[in-house]
Structure 1
Amino acid sequence: MILSLKHDAVADTTKAILEILLRYRRALYPKAQYQYLPQLRQISRLVETGDKIILTLPAFPCKSPNTDKVLGPLPDMAERMSLRFLKQLCDEIEKVYAPGARVLICSDGHVFGDLIGVSDDTINDYTAALIDMIKAEQILCIDIFQLCHVYPDADFEAQREILVKKWARPVPELREEVISIEHQNKLYCGITRFLVEDACLSSKSMSKSALQRLSKERALGVMQRSEAWGNLIAQYHPRTVRLSIHPQPPGSAKLGIMLLNAEDTWVTPWHSVFVDKGNSKLLMKHREAKEICNLVKENGQPSHYILPNATHC
């Protein structure tokens, strides 16, 4: 009877934690039936031992190089509000599970920076500013994990080479999956679209067809390295609940999560600007926001946009 009561308590707590996460889920097929068995297993094994819930989130790589999307290369209100959301998520979990939760941001800028046209120095500046932002916000439940923490003696190019050699699948294998598996094709098309958009301003001398071909090839590289990064994270941080900023299909080991509201479920804080419309707050592309909103600066730096005469609750 005692064992049964303990099991019931673990199951109830596990369900309560999952329900919190599901409030913010990003599903690839919203109308499909999701059972979340991987997430239930990930959460329950931590609850059984009374350990803190660790949420691993590959995210916050760097800002898009496309200024039609973002204000600049450094974190701004979009990142700040996302960090506040992650803190709120940890606070909500602590209310139903006393040991609480932590978020491990697995910052992946150096994983594929060369493929998205962002230098390692720019990524370093972004990450340093992000860490400063976490400290300024006094958020104690968020940590940063990077490729350099695994291979500290290698330069960034060597780190990427080791990652691919040790943890990645061959690109031809991924190419076959893009053709034959629907959710892989959706991811591939989404990444390709982002790469085309991000490169269009810096590749004006290239024809549209050439840019499309290059972006498709690079998209496979991004998928390869992203998967490799996920494999590495799973090895180095096995007792965690795995999150993703991308919409996920049923049965995925990762749970897709939306950091902030946006009309496009693929939009992230580092591909957009934060817009305060009063009663609603969301992410938008920079070129769209500046047409209808006023720019707000903080400490002399562009931060976000606010809709004129916005009504706040």
Structure 2
Amino acid sequence: MDIDYFARKQAPDTSPSAIAVRILDELLRWRRRPDNRDDHASVRHHHLPRLQKAIECAAPLTFLLPAFPAKSPNPRKVLGNLPDTAERIALTFLNDLCQRIGEYHKPGARVLLCSDGHVFADTIRVADATVAQYQVQLREMAREIAPSSIEVVNLHDALPAEHADIGFEQARAYLMKHYGKSADDTRAQYMADEVGRAHYRAITRFMFEDGLTPDYNGSRNALQVDSRQRAIEVIRRSQAWGNLLDQAYPGTLRLSIHPQAPASPKFGIHLSDCVDTWLTPWHAVAVDVGGQFRLMKREDVERAGGRVVHVDGRPSHFVIEHARCQGESR
């Protein structure tokens, strides 16, 4: 009996192409997609070559994720201004994902988490000081949960070294001057197809919801008009931010919190195992439902009788008897 033959037959394929398939299979479990079509074959066609090329370098895979800007300014949605259990769940999920990828790709994987609150602060109407506090706490949480898997960077980290010490307003001005498009060009681009229009409507909805704070005294119609205008600016800033990140961190694999088409260079991904939610940690609260956490808007949890849990003297999450994994409608 040729024992070596059977050993060879049973040994897993460790070629870059085979490893890329296994890693993409893991990512596909958590993919955010724009609709319910079964388009995994198309995703594989576009993303496997990118993964395989990165694997062939025999270095740790670096995933770049622009996200975690700041907590929503609407207290009906969140517990406060600082990271809480909602962020902890997301960071733990990303760390676990990196660990699983490391089982296939021996050099390992890490996430470069680009906290972008200072990119959008004036547009989303969150003070830069509040964003800075959020980022400090987020970095501390990431160091605690995933010291080798997650690195938190921000706008100033990505700027050219000679501009790293400029103020927040100057940093945004530099970003848009050197990496941004005009509002008219951005609007024309996003209104040209249904995918772009859907993204614009989603951002408009977030702007509208965040603006419906308890102290808002204007009309809903006025807020809707304002939200549409700010949505274009958010998209414009997001594009410029992406262009800067491409320059600052070349060779990274791009993730996104937004659904992405199969041919997009970005891969849309959820931030927890609750894959039917459209909520993010900074637009929701974590809710313990029978030992499993879900994301919900604060007002929905309170309406259902949820109880706030404090950790180290700060509100952390809710506990509720019965709920389902709720997300925002499209």
Regarding TM over 0.5, the answer is yes
- Residues 63 and 111 in structure 2, CA contact (< 8 A), matched pair in contact too: yes
Partner of 2:34: 28
How many pairs were matched up?
Answer: 304
TM superposition shift of 1:266: 2.9
SS in 2 for 1:180: coil
Q: Distance in 1 between matches of 2:322 and 2:196?
A: 43
TM superposition shift of 1:32: 4.7
1:116 paired to 2:129: no
Q: Residue type of the partner of 2:121?
A: G
Q: For 1:222-253, what per-residue CA distance to the aligned partner results, in whole angstroms no more than 9, with x for missing partners?
A: 00111111111112212111000011122111
Partner of 1:302: 315
Q: Which has the larger radius of gyration?
A: 2
Q: For 1:115-150, what per-residue CA distance to the aligned partner results, in whole angstroms no more than 9, with x for missing partners?
A: 001010000000001111122335321001211111
- Residues 46 and 262 in structure 2, CA contact (< 8 A), matched pair in contact too: no
Indicate which of 13, 17, 23 corresponds to 2:19: 13
Q: Distance in 1 between matches of 2:290 and 2:59?
A: 39
Q: For 1:250-275, what per-residue CA distance to the aligned partner results, in whole angstroms no more than 9, with x for missing partners?
A: 21110100002558643100000011
Partner of 2:209: 197
Which deviates more from structure 2 when the two are superposed, residues 272-281 or residues 66-75?
A: 272-281
| Unmatched 5+ stretches in structure 2 | 1-12, 324-330
Which deviates more from structure 2 when the two are superposed, residues 245-254 or residues 177-186?
A: 177-186
Q: For 1:288-311, what per-residue CA distance to the aligned partner results, in whole angstroms no more than 9, with x for missing partners?
A: 11233221110111100112389x
* TM-score normalised by L of structure 2: 0.87
Relative to 1, partners in 2 of residues 1:299 and 1:201: Cα closer, same or farther, differing over 3 Å? same
Query: Between the two proteins, what is the percent identity of the paired residues?
Result: 40
TM superposition shift of 1:164: 0.9
Which deviates more from structure 2 when the two are superposed, residues 92-101 or residues 226-235?
A: 226-235
Indicate which of 65, 85, 107 corresponds to 1:57: 65
TM superposition shift of 1:9: 1.0
Q: Distance in 2 between matches of 1:301 and 1:294?
A: 14
| Unmatched 5+ stretches in structure 1 | 1-6
- Residues 290 and 321 in structure 2, CA contact (< 8 A), matched pair in contact too: no
Q: Distance in 2 between matches of 1:202 and 1:118?
A: 16
Relative to 1, partners in 2 of residues 1:202 and 1:264: Cα closer, same or farther, differing over 3 Å? farther
- Residues 39 and 241 in structure 1, CA contact (< 8 A), matched pair in contact too: no
Q: Distance in 2 between matches of 1:116 and 1:309?
A: 33
Q: Distance in 2 between matches of 1:225 and 1:178?
A: 14
Q: Distance in 1 between matches of 2:265 and 2:27?
A: 14
Relative to 1, partners in 2 of residues 1:110 and 1:175: Cα closer, same or farther, differing over 3 Å? same
Partner of 1:222: 234
Indicate which of 36, 44, 47 corresponds to 1:39: 47
* TM-score normalised by L of structure 1: 0.92
Partner of 1:4: none
Q: Distance in 2 between matches of 1:12 and 1:109?
A: 38
Partner of 1:144: 152
Partner of 1:3: none
1:276 paired to 2:282: no
- Residues 142 and 152 in structure 2, CA contact (< 8 A), matched pair in contact too: no
